[in-house]
Amino acid sequence: MALKKFFYTLMLSTLATSATVESTAEEFKYTDEKFADIQMLRYKVQDFDKLNLRQKTLIFYLSEAALYGRDILFDQNGAYNLRIRKMLETVYTDYRGSRDSKDFKALTEYLKRVWFSNGIHHHYGSEKFIPGFSQDFFRNALKSVDRKKLPLTNGQTVDKLCDEIFPVIFDPTVFPMRVNQKDGDDLIRTSGENYYGTNISQAEVENFYADMRKPNDERPVMYGLNSKLVKENGKLVEKKWTTTGLYGPAISKIVSNLRNALPFAESKEQKAVINKLIDFYVSGELKDFDDYSILWVKNTADLVDFTNGFIEVYGDPLRFKGSCEGFANFKDLETTARTEKLSQNAQWFEDHSPVDPRFRKEECKGISAKVITAAILAGDLYPSTAIGINLPNSNWIRKEYGSKSVTIGNLTDAYNKAAHGNGFDEEFIYDADTRALIRQYGDNCDDLHTDLHECLGHGSGKMLPGVSDDSLKAYGSTIEEARADLFALYYLADDKLVELGLTPNTEAYKSEYYTYILNGLMTQLVRIKPGNNIEEAHMRNRALIAHWAYEHGKNKNVIELFKKNKKTYMRINDYRELRTLFAQLLAEIQRVKSTGDYEGARQLVENYGVKVDPVLHKELLQRYAKLNISPYKGFINPVYTAVKDSKGNIKDVKISYTETYDHQMLRYSTDYAPLPYIND
Ligand code: ZN
């Protein structure tokens, strides 16, 4: 499952950390291109230059394999998408009329949205977006360009092409939704995706796959995952996506690049993974895909890793069909070193934790949080992407072999950087000194907070004998997140971190304390609609910690809320005392958890973590709206270039970050587009 975290308005855990001074890479430039509800970003492939040639070459071929899946996804998302994209692109590049006209600008925006969504429906909401240009404009523009560049089928005229395609683009009643989930509708007949042929009902699909399942099969393959279901002569048949089947030209390209990657695999285990995936693409057998997934989940030792295949099923209203997805990555070396330091000292942290010794673990093992660096995003992970991935999706494989769970560090970093300079800090942080502190230490301490939370926080402490894991019921996850956060907050200010070289000095932690409290007391509320309470567990936990510390520090004025020019601001007057408060709350939360004190949990969460002050909320929403921050974000990929010697062997792989969004999309549409315009 992809942890699809669309950054609606803000980051997840941090809001307002500020940029560290831009580093040395001259070539790397962030982008701030915006259109519709979207902002494009870049991600930096940190440490790519530190990889050896073998690893770089492996990534190069895995990237190529991933990019060849793009047109499969366009076609999966809608039967007309490839033709519509080609019509739009041709006008975009070849139109001789005014490029400043309202119609042309609207066409440009529409095309950028089509690229972003891999089709004509919104990538997240799945509703069809309607163009802002006229049909007459588009028809005349299409007639003005070289007809050889248009997706005309069987000697079609341009007018005939327009007549066929325009309702799909302009008529709001034609394919209004890509994935319709409305209870009571026939979800297959009312969804615009292209996983099912025409004239097929939901009941027919359900029966078709119910019949396939074997009784008492404890290890079922994922039926239907890699095919389009169509009706031929009144009978349902699967058209499999294989090198010789549907999407054959694209899958053959994927396979040839996987074959190119084979000699550069880092281990024989990894080679076996790639070989099994090739088998699957050739045979179309879902058993091969399961075997591949098992080999893949067991292969954890290598630095480079990848995902490739028909993976996520959210694009099918009935959740059978896998969308094409490709991803190449490698372990984040710096973070791995950091988390190893924490893990090695796990027992020290446990022994010094400010909780009742009865609740401490005698023997404590840290967990290595796996953070990876994305090298390429493709298919259903591009340009809109997940920041965490947990695969494979097969339930029985997860149960018997486990899953790989990773967070993608350089994407999180890019989201953070995008938040800097968007005006957020200036709006919500009153004094310049605090802003400077956050600019200097914010990112570093925030990463460290995440590491402490994941590697040590969740793993710390123990239950008293006889207390069951789920005794806190609905409050359990909020309490658990609060426990891990408090463990991290408490230790961020500890001299031990300076000693371990994880924080630069004894002041840096203040940046995280400030942003954490600001978020919990105020700014996270901008993600909540007026009149609603806080529901989500992580948000409840942050509100709980911030409000509890605010209330319990009142007598010493530890945290202060004040108004200037009718705006509410927050100030921390005593950081050391705030740490003491975190220690007290950690001890209490650990007691609640270890003893299974349901009533204690309920009181903490309901009193501090749920309610929203409507007056403050309204003020924050108004201030936030003025910042004009795009609700959705996506990424431009870096460009990899293989430098070859006279014999054709790769002697280096260069990476660059200068390609613009439209150039990248046009290049992909030219260089990675082996499919015909109509696939059936
Ligand atoms: Zn957590």
Please give the full DSSP string across 609-672, using - where no structure is assigned.
Answer: IS---HHHHHHHHHHHHTT---SEEEEEPPEEEEEE-TTS-EEEEEEE----HHHHHHHHHHHT
Phi, psi of 438 (to 5 degrees): -70, -35
Map residue 395 onto helix, strand or coil. helix
Q: What is the 3-state secondary structure (H, E, C) of 404-417?
A: EEEEEHHHHHHHHH
Q: 456 alpha carbon to ligand 1 midpoint, in Å?
A: 10
Report domain extents, the chain.
4-37+332-635, 47-70+193-331, 71-178+644-671
Dig out the tokens for 440 from the structure: 């200097």
Q: 631 alpha carbon to ligand 1 midpoint, in Å?
A: 24
Range with the lowest mean pLDDT among 21-35, 103-117, 489-503, 565-579?
21-35
Q: 409 alpha carbon to ligand 1 midpoint, in Å?
A: 16
Map residue 309 onto helix, strand or coil. strand
Instruction: State the pLDDT confidence band at 535, using cuts at 50, 70 and 90.
Output: confident
Q: 449 alpha carbon to ligand 1 midpoint, in Å?
A: 11
Q: 268 alpha carbon to ligand 1 midpoint, in Å?
A: 35
Q: 514 alpha carbon to ligand 1 midpoint, in Å?
A: 20
With 0-12 / 13-18 / 19 or more C-beta atoms within 10 angstroms meaning exposed / middle / buried, residue 302 is middle
Beta-sheet pairing, 38-42 with 632-636: parallel
* Contact (CB, 8 A) for 479 and 593: yes
Q: 499 alpha carbon to ligand 1 midpoint, in Å?
A: 25
* Contact (CB, 8 A) for 107 and 143: no
Q: 63 alpha carbon to ligand 1 midpoint, in Å?
A: 31
Dig out the tokens for 245 from the structure: 């089947």
C-alpha closest to that of 422 among 11, 6, 3, 2? 11
Q: 420 alpha carbon to ligand 1 midpoint, in Å?
A: 24
Q: 482 alpha carbon to ligand 1 midpoint, in Å?
A: 8
Q: 442 alpha carbon to ligand 1 midpoint, in Å?
A: 20
Q: 538 alpha carbon to ligand 1 midpoint, in Å?
A: 8
Residues 6 or more apart in contact with residue 196 via CB below 8 angstroms: 188, 205, 228, 229, 230
pLDDT tens for each residue of 42-62: 999 999 999 999 999 999 999
* Bond prior to 383 in cis (omega within 30° of 0): yes
Q: 472 alpha carbon to ligand 1 midpoint, in Å?
A: 16
Distances (CA, A) of 188 to 18, 191, 192, 206: 46, 5, 8, 10
* Contact (CB, 8 A) for 479 and 592: yes
Q: 398 alpha carbon to ligand 1 midpoint, in Å?
A: 20
* Residue 300 confidence (pLDDT): 86
* Contact (CB, 8 A) for 81 and 120: yes
In the sheet with 304-310, reading across from the earlier edge strand, the strands are 2-3, 388-391, 404-408, 371-379, 324-331, 304-310
With 0-12 / 13-18 / 19 or more C-beta atoms within 10 angstroms meaning exposed / middle / buried, residue 532 is exposed
Q: 481 alpha carbon to ligand 1 midpoint, in Å?
A: 5
In whole numbers, what is the pLDDT of the chain averaged over residues? 92
Q: What's the sign of the alpha-carbon dihedral 62, 67, 68, 69?
A: positive
77-97: average pLDDT: 98
* Residue 364 confidence (pLDDT): 76
Ion ligand 1 — residues with CB under 5 Å?
A: 484
C-alpha closest to that of 6 among 102, 109, 125? 125
* Contact (CB, 8 A) for 235 and 251: no
Strands (DSSP E) found in 56-152: none
* Residue 473 confidence (pLDDT): 87
pLDDT tens for each residue of 646-677: 999 999 999 999 999 999 999 999 999 999 99
d(CA 452, CA 360): 16
pTM of the model: 0.80
d(CA 203, CA 87): 36
Q: 135 alpha carbon to ligand 1 midpoint, in Å?
A: 51
Please give the full DSSP string across 526-556, using - where no structure is assigned.
Answer: GGS-TT----SHHHHHHHHHHHHHHHHTGGG
pLDDT tens for each residue of 595-617: 999 999 999 999 999 999 999 99
d(CA 631, CA 633): 7
Q: 243 alpha carbon to ligand 1 midpoint, in Å?
A: 42
Q: 537 alpha carbon to ligand 1 midpoint, in Å?
A: 10
Q: 531 alpha carbon to ligand 1 midpoint, in Å?
A: 27
d(CA 170, CA 615): 42
The DSSP symbol for 313 reads -
Q: 595 alpha carbon to ligand 1 midpoint, in Å?
A: 20
Q: 54 alpha carbon to ligand 1 midpoint, in Å?
A: 36
Q: 370 alpha carbon to ligand 1 midpoint, in Å?
A: 14
Q: 259 alpha carbon to ligand 1 midpoint, in Å?
A: 39
* Residue 368 confidence (pLDDT): 59
Q: 484 alpha carbon to ligand 1 midpoint, in Å?
A: 6
- At which residue do the structure tokens 């694009």 appear? 315
pLDDT tens for each residue of 327-342: 999 998 788 788 888 8
Q: 106 alpha carbon to ligand 1 midpoint, in Å?
A: 43
* Contact (CB, 8 A) for 118 and 73: yes
d(CA 312, CA 123): 14
* Residue 366 confidence (pLDDT): 62
Where would I find the H helices in 553-596? 575-595
Residue 3 confidence (pLDDT) above 60: no
Map residue 439 onto helix, strand or coil. helix
Beta-sheet pairing, 404-408 with 388-391: antiparallel
Residue 235 confidence (pLDDT) above 50: yes
Q: 77 alpha carbon to ligand 1 midpoint, in Å?
A: 34
Q: 384 alpha carbon to ligand 1 midpoint, in Å?
A: 24
Q: 390 alpha carbon to ligand 1 midpoint, in Å?
A: 15
Q: 655 alpha carbon to ligand 1 midpoint, in Å?
A: 34
d(CA 255, CA 248): 10
Q: Say what percent of the chain tops pLDDT 90.
A: 78
413-429: average pLDDT: 86
Q: Which helix (H) or strand (E) holds 223?
A: none
d(CA 506, CA 382): 41
Bigger pLDDT: 563 or 370?
Answer: 563
Q: 113 alpha carbon to ligand 1 midpoint, in Å?
A: 34
Q: 591 alpha carbon to ligand 1 midpoint, in Å?
A: 18
* Residue 19 confidence (pLDDT): 33
Dig out the tokens for 493 from the structure: 């200010």
With 0-12 / 13-18 / 19 or more C-beta atoms within 10 angstroms meaning exposed / middle / buried, residue 666 is middle
Q: 450 alpha carbon to ligand 1 midpoint, in Å?
A: 8
Q: 455 alpha carbon to ligand 1 midpoint, in Å?
A: 10
Q: Which helix (H) or strand (E) holds 35?
A: strand 34-35
Q: 477 alpha carbon to ligand 1 midpoint, in Å?
A: 9
Q: 44 alpha carbon to ligand 1 midpoint, in Å?
A: 26
Q: 181 alpha carbon to ligand 1 midpoint, in Å?
A: 30
pLDDT tens for each residue of 332-382: 878 878 888 888 899 999 999 999 999 999 887 666 557 899 999 999 999
Bigger pLDDT: 473 or 158?
Answer: 158
Q: 454 alpha carbon to ligand 1 midpoint, in Å?
A: 6
Strands (DSSP E) found in 264-402: 304-310, 324-331, 371-379, 388-391
Q: 334 alpha carbon to ligand 1 midpoint, in Å?
A: 21
The answer regarding whether domain 47-70+193-331 maps to CATH 3.90.1150.10 reads no
Map residue 90 onto helix, strand or coil. helix
Instruction: State the pLDDT confidence band at 169, using cuts at 50, 70 and 90.
Output: very high
* Residue 569 confidence (pLDDT): 98
Q: 519 alpha carbon to ligand 1 midpoint, in Å?
A: 17
The alpha carbon torsion through 30, 33, 36, 39 (nearest 10 deg) reads 0
Dig out the tokens for 352 from the structure: 């010094």
Q: 388 alpha carbon to ligand 1 midpoint, in Å?
A: 13
Dig out the tokens for 350 from the structure: 């446990």
Range with the lowest mean pLDDT among 27-36, 338-347, 636-645?
27-36
